[in-house]
Each structure stands twice: as C-alpha cells, then as structure tokens.
Amino acid sequence: MVAVTAWNPSALVSFADVEPAIALGPLDGRYRPVAAPLVDHLSEPALNRARLHVEVEWFIHLCETGAVPGARELTDDETSLLRAIPADFDAAGIAEHAEIEKVTVHDVKAIEYYIKRRLDGTSLAPLSELVHFACTSEDINNLSYALMVKGAVKQVWTPAAAALVDDIATLARLAKAVPMLSRTHGQTATPTTLGKELAVLAHRLTRQLARIGRQEYLGKINGATGTFGAHTAAVPQTDWIDVSRTFVEGLGLTWNPLTTQIESHDWQAELYADLARFGRVLHNLATDVWTYISLGYFAQAAAKGSIGSSAMPHKINPIRFENAEANLEISAALFDTLGATLVTSRLQRDLTDSTSQRNIGVAFGHSLLAIDNVRRGLTTLSVNEAALAADLDASWEVLAEPIQSAMRAAAVAGVPGMDNPYERLKDLTRGQTIDAAAIQEFVGSLPLPADTAARLSALTPGSYVGLAERLVDEYLG
C-alpha cells in the first residue's frame, strides 16, 4: 500500500516571487521581505495548493485501501502523475484555477475541476469521479488549513522564535554578573543583575515555545454533517471510520472523530492563545529593553548612514523595539479574535470561520515581523556598565533591606538591641538621601556579631545581588 504523502511546501515551487498587486497592507508592501517566508504556507495560492494535495492524496488513499469497489490499485506512474498536480502548481496554475472559479463561484469546486482536467486523456480518466468522492468542501479545507498552519509554525515561525530566544539567552549569559538597580513600581529596589532579568524573559518565552511545540493539529474527513452519510449510502460495506482515520493520520495530523460539517477548530484556538501569549511576553521584553535604553543601561550602535530624527541629529531611537510592540499588539489582537471566533459555529455549520481563517497569515505575519525587529534591535545593543554602576552608587538606601533582615535574624538568635529593625531602617532611609557613610555609621552602631557586622559593612549596592548569577547558570537552560 502506498502511504499518504506528507505535506512539505518548502520542497515545492515558491510563491514568494509572484508579484503581488499594489499592497493594501504593509505585510505585502513595506515588510514583504520579512513576511515572505509565510507566503508558501498561508497565502491564497498556498491554500489552493494544499487543497490540491489533500484531494490528490484522498484519491490515492481510496484506490490503495480498496474503499470504493472498482477503484483499482494505481501504478507508480499514475501516482506520480497525481502528486505532480500540487507539486507543479505555479503562477500559471494559480491563473487557471482563478479562471475556473469565475465560472463555479466556488473555490473548492474549482479545485476539483482543475484536477479532473489533468486526468482527461490519461489512464486515470475512468476513475475521475473519485476526485472529491463523498467530500464536503470542509473535508478539504480543514485538512488544508491544518497542514498550512502546521507548516508555518514548524518551518517558519518556530525557527525564528527559537533563534530570538537564543539571542536573548546569549545576552543574559554575557550580562549575568553585571549588577543593576532594580525598579519595582518605578522606584529603586533590591539590586539584581542585567543578565538575570533578561534570563527571566528568556525562560518565560522558552515555556511558551514548549507549549506551542506540543500543539496537536486536528483534521477530519467525514462528510457533510460528520456522519459518513454519503460514504455509507454509496459503499456501505467499507469501514469508513478506519479509512478516515488512516488518511488524516497519514497526512501527519491528529484525527478528530466527532465533528459537525466542520472540524471544530478548538486546536486552532489553543494554538493562537499560546502564540498571542508568546507575543505578550515578548512585548514585555520590548518595553523593558526600551526602558533600559532610556536609562542609559544599553547603548545603541548607529547603522552607517541611518537617521534617528529628521530634526535632532544626535538621536538614535529604539525603533526596532517600538516597531515590535506595535506588531505584537496587532498580532495578539488578531490571534485573540481568531481563537474567539473559530470555536463557534451555528448548529452544524456557518461560514464565519471561512473569512476568519483567511486572516491567519496576517496574524502570523505581524508576529514574525515583531520577532525580526526584536532580533535586529538586540544586535545594536551594548551594555553601559558605567551607567549601571552610577545608578547603584547613588542608591545606598537599597541596603536597608539586607540590614533589617540581618537584624531580624540576630533578634531570633537572641542578640540584644535588635528591636524594631524594619522601623529603624525606615526612619533612616525613607525619603532621605543616604550614602555609604550613613550606612556604615548605622551598621557600626549595632551590637551585631562580628561576622555579621563585617558582612554588612562590606556590602554595597553593586554587590547586593544575591544568587542572581547562579540562577542564570543553573536555570536558563
């Protein structure tokens, strides 16, 4: 038996060089070079090529399983002829399908006729009614979209996202020992390291990538209302449930046995929620890096000949991170809308999912564009350790926390004179300008054990970073 052939658009003729009409949106205009890798997966021609693939493989599957009496086993040449139909779908094929659709006013029916044209005059002509046998349009569409989205995720989006996370992790490791003043609620807080804060974001993004990597891509082929009604009416003796399951699984998808006319799209909603969440975490990184740049913690390298402001010659604006923010907001909104819309269909079928799914590529395109912008932005950054050190040296009040904590520990151990540690440090530091001398004087006034006093006396804002470096080493991965 000839197995169902896996779908691999990357091995086929690319649609990326097919000249688009004057672009209404930026993904097909200004940002076309970045979004282009998605064209072979999520464009209209990609949808029709995937439909051709599903229709052809269903034809082959029916013959090889003997599901329909009289459908003989195919020769190798006949199988090759059929599989060449989607493989050879190019600009001329796109135009031919469009001409057929002008007559049918139905895109999937035009696919059926497109295939049948290629069987005319061949040894497969007597079997041509196996094209689209017992299928509703949604049998073809749901499988096509599942293959397209899976290909876009696995072959385009995930490699780009994983490379971005690697970039962030690399920067985190390089800066793991660079002390940095934290800001909680925008106010000076316990120091950390720049690398540890970047590691937090890399770790969060890695978790979302893992969720996306575990995603199932579901499909069905069970007729107009999911009952195999036409199948069993035409050929009652065939185990159509098994034929359906083996076909869907042969395509590399997870079989959904219980559906209405449409596959329920729940898997898409799950995926888009995870993609949107990845984007929101990345948005958090973009705004944090933007803030670090504004604080002077990162310096930006200017590209030769580039202009930051048309009026202010000195400026190097963090435009890559700002661009990423906007594109992440657009992609998240689209992914959210897709997830909310696709899980609902009136009774056994309505058409709301059709228009919604045609915007999947737009959601992915803005996400991919954001990823590209963050990666490009990161390449311009260098750590300004002097600025980080200056901020720390101006913030000795942050040592109130370790001192009062040490006093609490001493009090529990029975050391006298350790009463009201929090309140005493609050009085010393809150709303006050504190320097090293004030801290040293306060520590020296305490009847602390010698080792504790020495440890606190040696502490500086720059050295008060806890286990930040170890956390990066052990848990960044």
Active site residue 309: yes
Between CA 349 and CA 371 the distance in angstroms is 36
Tokens 């065939």 belong to residue: 238
* Rama region for 315: left / alpha / beta (φ>0; ψ in -120 to 50; rest): beta
What's the sign of the alpha-carbon dihedral 43, 44, 46, 47?
A: positive
Between CA 209 and CA 275 the distance in angstroms is 9
What residues have CB less than 8 Å from 139, skipping those under 6 apart? 220, 221, 222, 223
Best CA proximity match to 68, nearest among 126, 118, 120: 126
Active site residue 137: no
Say if CB 18 and CB 94 are below 8 A apart: yes
Helix (DSSP H) and strand (DSSP E) numbers for the chain: 21, 6
- Amino acid at position 142, single letter: N
3-state secondary structure of 398: helix
Between CA 354 and CA 340 the distance in angstroms is 14
What residues have CB less than 8 Å from 171, skipping those under 6 apart? 195, 198, 378, 381
Catalytic residue among 185, 310, 314, 382: 185
Say if CB 25 and CB 48 are below 8 A apart: no
Strand bridging mode 254-255 / 218-219: parallel
- In the numeric block, which tokens belong to residue 222? 């069970």
Say if CB 410 and CB 418 are below 8 A apart: yes
Between CA 422 and CA 407 the distance in angstroms is 9
Best CA proximity match to 217, nearest among 57, 61, 6, 59: 6
Tokens 């439909």 belong to residue: 51
Say if CB 279 and CB 362 are below 8 A apart: no
Between CA 322 and CA 370 the distance in angstroms is 9
Between CA 35 and CA 32 the distance in angstroms is 5
Catalytic residue among 14, 123, 306, 309: 309
What residues have CB less than 8 Å from 416, skipping those under 6 apart? 447
DSSP 156: I
Active site (catalytic) residues:
185, 309
